[in-house]
Amino acid sequence: MLELKKEEMHEIIAQNVAALLNELCEDTLVVNLGAGMPLLTVNYLDNDNVYIHTENGMVGVGPLAYGDDVHPDLVNAGRQPVKETLGCVYTDTSESFGMMRGGHLDAAVLGAFEVDEEANIANWIIPGGTLLGVGGAMDLVCGAKTVIVAMTHTNNGKAKLVKKFTLPVTGFHEVDFVITEMGVFHFTDDGPILEKIHPAVTLEEVRQRTELDFHVAEELIEMLV
């Protein structure tokens, strides 16, 4: 059974998100990265035609900045210091959310607490919790053309890919891809399809840690690790 540290899982997920964005990019791709783990994706992107958008008003977000590269006014949605990329532009918040709500984003990458068989996503609150994390989640899942969920496969051993969500919903039938440390799932009209798998796990192990039913691609390939 696959056993990884949290940091290892996050890095595996981030590099596979970057790989998927490269696959989706036919010409140019404007992508929003949600706070948390999705923000690691910029460290693996090497495609100049993929432009990262952040809801605080930056299009062309570069990798995380360290040391002398840190500028106090250049931050991503998680308030982490970042670098600019060539051609980077800035907007105010209203214009930024207008991009999100107006269908101008090609893709959005978000974390989630649960995703179910019908591509419903719950990612903004756990009942009884003290932190509300709405942010732009509803706007992103409804406005982006492709919704990619980047999350760990389980939480304390409990499956996060479930038959029916139990938490307050963020969006109905909006998820297109889910990437975990165990595999890459493509949500289609025929249901979820496992398209890539971690080379160190078996299909049976994935099924054991997944509550929802899924199909397996005819050509199941290994994900990046």
Catalytic residue positions, numbered: 55
Query: What does the alpha-carbon distance between residue 64 and residue 148 come to, in Å, rounded to a whole number?
Result: 21
Q: Which two tokens stand for residue 125?
A: 């609150």
- Dihedral, CA atoms, 102, 105, 106, 107, nearest 10 degrees? -120
Query: What does the alpha-carbon distance between residue 117 and residue 115 come to, in Å, rounded to a whole number?
Result: 7
What is the residue-wise DSSP string for the chain?
A: -----HHHHHHHHHHHHHHHHHHH-SS-EEEEE-SSGGGGGGGT---TTEEEEETTTEEEEEEEP-GGG--TT-B-TTS-BEEEEEEEEE--HHHHHHHHHTT--SEEEE--SEEETT--EE-S--TT-S----TTHHHHHHH-SEEEEE--SEETTEESEESS--SPPSBSS---EEE-SSEEEEEETTEEEEEEE-TTS-HHHHHHT--S--EEEEEEEEPP-
